[in-house]
Amino acid sequence: MFTGLIEAMGEVVGLVRGEGVARLTIAEREGAGMVARLRLGDSVAVSGVCLTALEIEAEAFPARFSADLAAETLARTTLGRLEAGSVVNLELPTPAGTPLGGHVVQGHVDGVGTLVALDAVSPGVEGSDWVLRVRLPGGLKRYVVEKGSIAVEGISLTVAGVEGDEVWIAILPHTYRATNLHTLAVGMGVNVEVDVLAKYAEGRERAEGWELTAEYLLANGY
């Protein structure tokens, strides 16, 4: 499980396609030291996609690791579209007992949205906040509500509003600088994971006699 609080940014070194899978290699940027904490087989979220760390080179400069992308991952996420030099967000799983600073992010991307706009609220002003607009892929709108949680590129964000099939989100200056958002361009695809609680609630609603209660939320870690 992740929280959507990005620990570091990485840069794609290579993406090599093979028979049925692709091997993605990522170098850590700015010496954050995150790769040094990885062990073979550990989970790591790459722009919101939960992957398994392979070929860890913690002593290299810059430190790097590889991960295999299954056909489902290539079809469901943006990772298969990455090129050398692309910037990605990195996060390690949340240790048990750690306070949840963001929200529950599984690293199971629901679909690829489209970046519609990313505009400074006060253009030309250093430290301005930003407004991000993303067009949701089909079927996900029903899981998104104003002031609810959503993960975009693995970043835990709060929905400011929903208009048609678009969601808009207020982005703080720190989030803009410390994630790959500042490297993205209008029209690019972004990984979207809706709040898993909304999906569970929908599934339970279909079960006769079930209702969402405070007791259920507490029992399931919310």
Q: What confidence score (pLDDT) does residue 206 get?
A: 66
Active site residues: 2, 43, 50, 52, 70, 108, 158
pLDDT digits (tens, 9 = 90+) for 59-90: 999 999 999 999 999 999 999 999 999 999 99
| Low-confidence winner among 1-5, 9-13, 32-36 (lowest mean pLDDT) | 32-36
Q: If 0-12 CB within 10 Å is exposed, 13-18 middle and 19+ buried, where does residue 21 land?
A: middle
Q: What confidence score (pLDDT) does residue 212 get?
A: 66
Q: How confident is the model at residue 146 (pLDDT cuts 50, 70, 90)?
A: very high
Q: What confidence score (pLDDT) does residue 207 get?
A: 64
Check: CB of residue 47 under 8 Å from CB of residue 180.
yes
Distance, in Å, from the CA atom of 129 to the CA atom of 123, rounded to the nearest integer, reads 9
φ and ψ at residue 57, rounded to 5 degrees: -120, 75
CA atoms within 13 A on the CB side of 51: 32
Strand 155-163 relative to strand 22-28: parallel, antiparallel, unpaired? Answer: unpaired
Q: How confident is the model at residue 51 (pLDDT cuts 50, 70, 90)?
A: very high
Q: What's the chain's length in residues?
A: 222
Q: What confidence score (pLDDT) does residue 20 get?
A: 78
**Domain limits of the chain?**
8-91, 111-201
Check: CB of residue 49 under 8 Å from CB of residue 154.
yes
Residue 204 in tokens: 């339970």
Chain centroid to Cα 185, Å, comes to 17
Instruction: Quote the strand ranges of the chain, DSSP E.
Output: 8-17, 22-28, 43-46, 49-52, 54-57, 64-69, 87-91, 111-120, 130-135, 149-152, 155-163, 166-171, 189-194
Q: How confident is the model at residue 198 (pLDDT cuts 50, 70, 90)?
A: confident
Q: How confident is the model at residue 205 (pLDDT cuts 50, 70, 90)?
A: low
Q: What confidence score (pLDDT) does residue 210 get?
A: 60
φ and ψ at residue 129, rounded to 5 degrees: -85, 175
Check: CB of residue 193 under 8 Å from CB of residue 48.
yes
Percent of the chain whose predicted confidence (pLDDT) is above 70: 91
Q: Which CATH code, of 3.40.630.40, 3.40.50.2300, 3.40.190.10, 2.40.30.20, is assigned to 8-91?
A: 2.40.30.20
Distance, in Å, from the CA atom of 80 to the CA atom of 19, rounded to the nearest integer, reads 14
Q: Is the pLDDT of residue 184 over 80?
A: yes
Q: What confidence score (pLDDT) does residue 19 get?
A: 80
What is the average pLDDT value for the chain, to the nearest integer?
91
Any idea which residue has 């609680």 for tokens? 197
Q: Is the pLDDT of residue 122 over 90?
A: yes
Q: Is the pLDDT of residue 22 over 90?
A: yes
- According to CATH, the topology of domain 111-201 is Elongation Factor Tu (Ef-tu); domain 3 (2.40.30)
pLDDT digits (tens, 9 = 90+) for 101-119: 889 899 999 999 999 999 9
Q: What confidence score (pLDDT) does residue 102 get?
A: 86
Q: What pTM did the predictor assign?
A: 0.88
